[in-house]
Amino acid sequence: MLGGIMKKRNVLALALALVMSVGMSSSVFAATWSGNAPKENDVEKVTYNFMNETKVGKYKLVDTDTLKTWVDGKGKMIIVDTMPAAASYNKQHVPGAINSVAPMTEKEYTAEQKADLMKQVKPLLSKKTVTKTTWTKVSKKAYKKLKKSNRKTKKIKKKVYYYKKVVKKSVVEDKNTKIVVYCGHIGCARSHVAAAYLVKQGYTNVYRYGGGISAWMDAGNAVEKVETPAAQ
């Protein structure tokens, strides 16, 4: 009970911090509010909506300072920018981020958009070796040639069956690879839609960066952009 209360408080604290950190200096974030400064009622609505999305999405959260540390550390991580390319991603994005557009609601998330996300994420996943052990039936003669650790018998209705151990190793995608998803600002649900979808696909280390590109830029962090060829 106490753990659940503390977790809820932590989410609320992070959401409030993200709201206050992006302030009103970003034109992307400004679209969330009417007027020059957010009213307490507006902040409350956005904050609790963010909390509810986090609960439903079952992903983790990351703040600007932590993400900056991860980016600077150059560790294995996939960053997904879900903003439209022409309007946002091409102009500015977190260094190393890929672009896969997501809509503002899960109902609007098309099969094509989901496929695009998977197409871009899967090749970037870490790989891990999985060992699978099975037992194959063999003759008594073949059984006797095996080491004790690689053989076993099984008696069924007074009849003895002989088995040898078969160990197979395969390289598979590591679904625990760190994936960070973001969009424009704390009031933008694109990152929720994509992050929640990744969780549903079995990925276990998904983070939503709630402040998005607005918080990243407001903190003075470097961005990358897509260079377009100059017109001839």
Ranking 43-52, 59-68, 178-187 by mean pLDDT, the lowest is 43-52
pLDDT value at 106 more than 70: yes
pLDDT at 10: 54
Tokens of 178: 């760190």
Q: Give the CATH number of the domain where residue 204 resides.
A: 3.40.250.10
Judgement on whether residues 59 and 91 belong to the same structural domain of the protein: yes
Higher-pLDDT residue of 153 and 16 is: 153
Judgement on whether residues 121 and 145 belong to the same structural domain of the protein: no
Judgement on whether residues 191 and 90 belong to the same structural domain of the protein: yes
Judgement on whether residues 208 and 113 belong to the same structural domain of the protein: yes
Judgement on whether residues 159 and 78 belong to the same structural domain of the protein: no
Residue ranges of alpha helices (H) inside the chain are: 2-22, 27-30, 40-57, 64-73, 111-121, 140-144, 190-200, 212-218
pLDDT at 163: 97
Contacts 24+ apart (CB under 8 A), 42-46: 43/16, 43/19, 46/15, 46/19, 46/186, 46/187
**Total tally of structural domains belonging to the chain:** 2
Residues 6+ apart with CB under 8 A from 117: 80, 100, 102, 194, 197, 198
Q: Is residue 153 part of a domain?
A: yes
Which residue is it, tokens 């891990």?
Answer: 128
Q: Is residue 227 part of a domain?
A: no
pLDDT value at 140 more than 70: yes
Ranking 25-29, 48-52, 70-74, 91-95 by mean pLDDT, the lowest is 25-29
Mean pLDDT of 103-113: 97
Q: Is residue 230 part of a domain?
A: no
The residue among 114, 148, 170 that closes a domain is 170
Judgement on whether residues 69 and 38 belong to the same structural domain of the protein: yes
Q: Is residue 119 part of a domain?
A: yes
pLDDT at 214: 95
Judgement on whether residues 209 and 140 belong to the same structural domain of the protein: no
The answer to whether 67 and 35 have CB atoms below 8 angstroms apart is: no
Tokens of 52: 């509810």
Mean pLDDT of 173-201: 97
Q: What DSSP string runs through 195-229?
A: HHHHHHTT-S-EEEETTHHHHHHHTT---B-PPPP
pLDDT at 6: 44
Mean pLDDT of 205-217: 97
Q: Is residue 229 part of a domain?
A: no
Judgement on whether residues 82 and 47 belong to the same structural domain of the protein: yes
Higher-pLDDT residue of 6 and 80 is: 80
- Compute the distance between CA of residue 26 and CA of residue 213 in angstroms, rounded to an integer: 9
Higher-pLDDT residue of 6 and 227 is: 227
Judgement on whether residues 13 and 115 belong to the same structural domain of the protein: yes
H or E element at residue 185 = none
Judgement on whether residues 162 and 57 belong to the same structural domain of the protein: no
Judgement on whether residues 146 and 192 belong to the same structural domain of the protein: no
Mean pLDDT of 47-66: 95
Domain of 201 in residue numbering reads as 2-125+174-218
Q: Is residue 158 part of a domain?
A: yes
Q: Per-residue confidence at 13, pLDDT binned at 50, 70, 90?
A: low
Judgement on whether residues 79 and 121 belong to the same structural domain of the protein: yes
pLDDT at 190: 97
Q: Is residue 223 part of a domain?
A: no
Higher-pLDDT residue of 114 and 11 is: 114
pLDDT at 231: 57
Ranking 20-24, 202-206, 214-218, 219-223 by mean pLDDT, the lowest is 20-24
Taking alpha carbons only, the member of 186, 181, 215 closest to residue 49 is 186
pTM: 0.77
Q: Per-residue confidence at 8, pLDDT binned at 50, 70, 90?
A: very low
Q: Is residue 232 part of a domain?
A: no
